[in-house]
Amino acid sequence: MTTMTSRLLAGVLVAGLVGSLAACGGTTKDSAGANSGGTQSTAAADPNAAAKQGVKMAFLPKQLNNPYSDIEVSGGKTALEELKGEYKLVGPNDASASSQVSYINTLIQQQQDVIGIAANDSNAVCPSLNQARGAGVKVVAFDSDAARDCRDVFVNQASTQGIGDKLVELASKLAGGSGEVAILSATPNATNQNAWIEVVRADLAKPEHSGLKLVKIAYGNDDDQKSFQEAQGLLQSYPNLKVIISPTTVGIAAAARYLSSSSYKGKVALTGLGTPNQLREYVKNGTVTEFALWKPADVGYLAAYAGVALASGQITGAQGQKFKAGRLGDYTIGANGEIVLGPPTVFDSANIDNFTF
Amino acid sequence: MNATKAATPRRRMAAPQAIFSTVFKARESGIVLALILLIAFTATRNSRFLSAQSIRDILLGTAILAVLAVGQAIVMITRNIDLSVGSVLGLSAFAVGSLLRDNQGVPVIVALLAGLVLGGACGVLNGVLVRFGQVPALGTLYALRGVNYLWAGGQQINADRLPESFLDFGNQAILGVPWLVLIGLVVLAVATIVLRGYRAGRELYAMGSSPQAAELAGIKVSRNTIAAFLVSGALAGLAGVLFAARFGTIDAAAGTGYELNVVAAAVVGGVAVFGGSGTVWGASLGALLLTVIGSCLAVLDINQFWQQAIVGALILLAIGADRLVASRVARALRKRDSHV
């Protein structure tokens, strides 16, 4: 009898739980459908719709007063001026995971049309962003992606493949098509660095680069002293080294400083990813001929054009949709709502003075 | 435990002095031996390791760490520890970097003095907090780094904004000796002379050996503690200027984590964590050893994960040897006393 009761009770409880779970799921689905804010945007896009004027777009970078973020959002401002939209900039002073949430909530209340966000934490911002999308706000992630199901599109500064290809292209040019190359990276477990290095390896394995030989990957830990020592080690261990590729801003600046003051200057070439301000000195004194990086201002610029295109109904974030982005030209949305800015820009002595970041 | 060692004035007790000198000889010659073995081994694998360029690189790398290690040794001898040196270095590097960026005509000597003064001020703050507030310098490690972040924000001072003369100072040599190395040697020489032969120096050892006894003996412990931190801070400030000149790129994170390298250099060099013993000469040798290890591992193509393990093992070895030596000396002294 007692077992009977308890079983019955358990059954009721389980049924209740299942019921409530189903109810929860139902609610989520319904609201998502009603607000057309779901993962898969099914709403039809009209590529010929006119770009709306007066679109209110707010930029929420990782953190205010960060020089890199400042340049990124300045591009967004330019784009919104071109599109006759309203630009707004808000953001936290620290780049911690949860610091952006309250700003998103405020932006919803202010009835912005579009939020452009560089997510500090791809998941922490999700509930608020989905709330915003529920209220009809379009969400453009840029620079650093939010989780895929809580933004409409993601503007990526450069694809992993694009960066890796560019690094190999530069190295091959500097080495004259053949010779030993080495990589000076950041830490051995930096995700983006390793992803780029994988592309570099794959490219070097191709027949057209058979003359280039990757002799070592050194890790400078993004520390000046350590990067110096690793660069010294490379130069001592590989007397025939032709090019050092450093895809990290700390590493390339340290290697440039070291090379410029050593007897290897002019004998071993250096390239990689760095900012024009960092490397101006070394381009001018002949240590570095060419290096690459995306233009941060273009990231914000493209994000603003994508935001207005979303708000105007020209795109919904589905793969294959096309839109125009002012002076940057035409863009097509890739898989997972990703829009890639393009190959990185190459800087050399001819153009470096046109850039101040 | 260490109390019985260096604090004892040399003039008295002729017999124990022999023990002391052998102990010190053993301690520092151990590092020298390790250095020789390491360099010889690396050189046989790669002859370029002994090229002029390579030796110059190692000495330049050592100079900054050695300046910091000399300051740290002085503080550690008084049975304290200055964990703020990395932050002071960063603050000084950024301050002097922005001074030079905005005033291109400032001569290098002014930059060096500015670093010394700023670092010295931070050092006094540390000393006062440690002595009267009874808080370790760990607090200022974070506080000063915070100040630096607040001030520097995301700014970066790049080589193209620094005066040519200052960048040259980081590379160039006088009579074949790079300026940075020369400064390191001067700092080492002055500190050695003061600690060995002057009353102020001997008092620091006495304080580290036995703070209570030192106080009872009339040594001005507070004044000396603050002075030791002042020297360490000033040297960290000086190191910041050298850092800026050498690397040419400075941001708010410059020197993060350096404090542990500096303490490691001092400990490996035979400066006792419990105060009262060690030399600045040993600390500088420790700095040289750590720098050489870093260079060797890079040249020998050894996985860098090993580097930290090796440094850790060296520290354990140094502390272990220190305890062993200390207990032997204590036993030897006890025996001697019992005969009297």
Residue with tokens 């740290």: B72
Q: Does B208 touch chain A (CB under 8 A)?
A: no
pLDDT-derived band of residue A76, with 50, 70 and 90 as boundaries?
Answer: very high
Average pLDDT, chain B: 87
Does any CB of chain A come closer than 8 Å to the CB of residue B127? no
Q: Give B92-140 pLDDT, tens digit per residue.
A: 999 999 999 999 999 999 999 999 999 999 999 999 999 988 777 678 8
Distance of alpha carbon A105 from alpha carbon A128, whole angstroms: 6
Question: Looking at residues B62-83, what average pLDDT do you find?
Answer: 96
Task: Place A276 in a pLDDT band, splitting at 50, 70 and 90.
Answer: very high
Q: Is B86 on the interface with A (CB under 8 A)?
A: no
* Nearest Cα residue to A328 out of A66, A94, A79: A79
Instruction: Mutation target for B interface from A66, A219, A257: give the one with most B CBs within 10 A.
Output: A257
Residue B134 pLDDT: 79
What confidence category does residue B339 fall into, taking pLDDT thresholds of 50, 70 and 90? low
Most confident of A185-189, A256-260, B44-48: A256-260
| A280 contact residues in B (CB cutoff 8 A) | 158-160
A291 CB neighbours in chain B (<8 A) are none
Dihedral, B165, B170, B173, B177 alpha carbons, nearest 10? 150
* Chain B nearest-CA residue for A260: B171
Same domain? A170 vs A151: no
pLDDT at A58 over 70: yes
C-beta separation of B19 from B138 below 8 A? no
A125-184 pLDDT, tens per residue?
A: 999 999 999 999 999 999 888 999 999 999 998 888 999 999 999 999 999 999 999 999
Domain count, chain B: 1
Mark whether A249 and A286 lie in a shared domain.
yes
pLDDT tens digits, A132-149: 999 999 999 998 889 999
Q: Is the pLDDT of residue B43 over 90?
A: yes
Q: How many domains does chain A have?
A: 2
Can you give the pLDDT at residue A45? 80
A154: helix, strand or coil: strand
| CA angle centred on B243, ends B141 and A224, rounded to 5° | 85
Residue A20 lies in a domain: no
Residue A190: both structure tokens together = 């930096």
Answer whether B57 sits within 8 Å of A277, measured CB to CB: no
Q: Among partner residues B155, B159, B299, which is closest to A281 by beta-carbon distance?
A: B159
Domain range enclosing A245: 160-293
The domain boundary, picked from A253, A271, A293, lies at A293
Whether residue A301 contacts residue A342, with contact meaning beta carbons closer than 8 Å, is answered with no
Alpha carbon distance A296, A158 (integer Å) = 10
Residue B67 pLDDT more than 90? Answer: yes
For residues A313 and A289, state if they share a domain.
no
- Which of A236-245, B20-29, B96-105, B191-200 has the least mean pLDDT? B20-29
Domain assignment present for residue A194? The answer is yes
Token pair, residue B310, equals 């090796």
Whether residues A219 and B57 touch (CB distance < 8 A) is answered with no
Interface check for A218 against chain B (CB to CB < 8 A): the answer is yes
How far are the Cα atoms of A114, A223, A255 from residue A130, in angstroms, in the given order? 13, 39, 44
Pick the residue from chain A with its C-alpha nearest to B248. A257
Q: Which chain A residue's Cα is nearest to B62?
A: A225
pLDDT of residue B246: 94
A288 Cα to chain B: minimum distance (Å): 13
User: Does residue A216 sit at the B interface (CB-CB below 8 Å)?
Assistant: yes
- B167 CB neighbours in chain A (<8 A) are 281
Is the Cβ of A48 closer than 8 Å to some Cβ of chain B?
Answer: no
Which residue from A minimizes the CA distance to B161?
A281
* Position B18 pLDDT exceeds 80: no
**Is A257 a domain residue?**
yes
Q: In which band, very low, low, confident or very high, does the pLDDT at B20 lie, cut at 50, 70 and 90?
A: low
Say what the pTM is: 0.77
A285: contact with B, CB 8 A cutoff: no
How far off is chain B from A183, nearest CA to CA, in Å? 13
pLDDT of residue B313: 85
Report the residue of chain B nearest A237, measured CA to CA. Answer: B299
How far apart are the C-alpha atoms of B112 and B240, rounded to whole Å? 9
Q: Is A26 helix (H, G, I), strand (E, B) or coil?
A: helix
Check CB contact of B154 with chain A, cutoff 8 Å: yes
Q: Are residues A128 and A65 in the same domain?
A: yes
Residue B320's pLDDT is 80
Say which CATH number the domain at B229 has: 1.10.3470
The reply to whether A82 touches chain B by the CB within 8 Å rule is: no
**Cβ distance of A229 and B249 shorter than 8 Å:** no
pLDDT score recorded for residue B68: 98
pLDDT at A13 over 70: no
Beta-carbon contacts below 8 Å between A and B:
96
Contact indicator for B253, B78 with CB cutoff of 8 Å: no
Structural domain including B225 reads 2-339
Interface contact flag, A68 B171, Cβ < 8 Å: no
Question: Which two tokens mark A184?
Answer: 């000076």
- Residue B4 pLDDT more than 60? no
On whether any CB of chain A is under 8 Å from the CB of B151, the answer is no
pLDDT tens track for A208-250: 999 999 999 999 988 888 899 999 999 999 999 999 999 998 8
DSSP-derived pairing of the beta strands A179-185 and A241-246: parallel
* pLDDT for A188 beyond 90: no
Torsion angles phi and psi, residue A227, rounded to 5: -65, -40
- Average of per-residue pLDDT across A25-47: 48
Is pLDDT above 50 for B253? Answer: yes
- Predicted confidence at residue B221, as pLDDT, reads 93
Q: Residue A72: list chain B partners with CB under 8 A.
A: none
List pLDDT tens digits, range B317-335: 877 877 777 778 778 877 7
> Between A216, A229, A261, which is nearest B61 by CB?
A229
Question: Does the CB of A189 have a partner CB in chain B at under 8 Å?
Answer: no
- What one-character-per-residue DSSP string does A231-256 give? HHHHHHH-TTEEEEEE-SHHHHHHHH
pLDDT at B58 over 70: yes
**Would you call A188 and B53 a contact, using CB atoms and an 8 Å cutoff?**
no
Residues A152 and A166 both lie in one domain: no
The whole-angstrom separation of Cα A212 and Cα B227 is 58
* B223 interface with A at CB cutoff 8 Å: no
Smallest CA–CA distance from A217 into chain B, residue? B301
Which domain CATH number covers A232? 3.40.50.2300
Judged by CB atoms closer than 8 Å, whether chains meet at A233 and B295 is answered as yes
Residue A17 pLDDT level (bands cut at 50, 70, 90): very low
Assess whether A288 and A178 both reside in one domain: yes
Is A236 in the same domain as A220?
A: yes
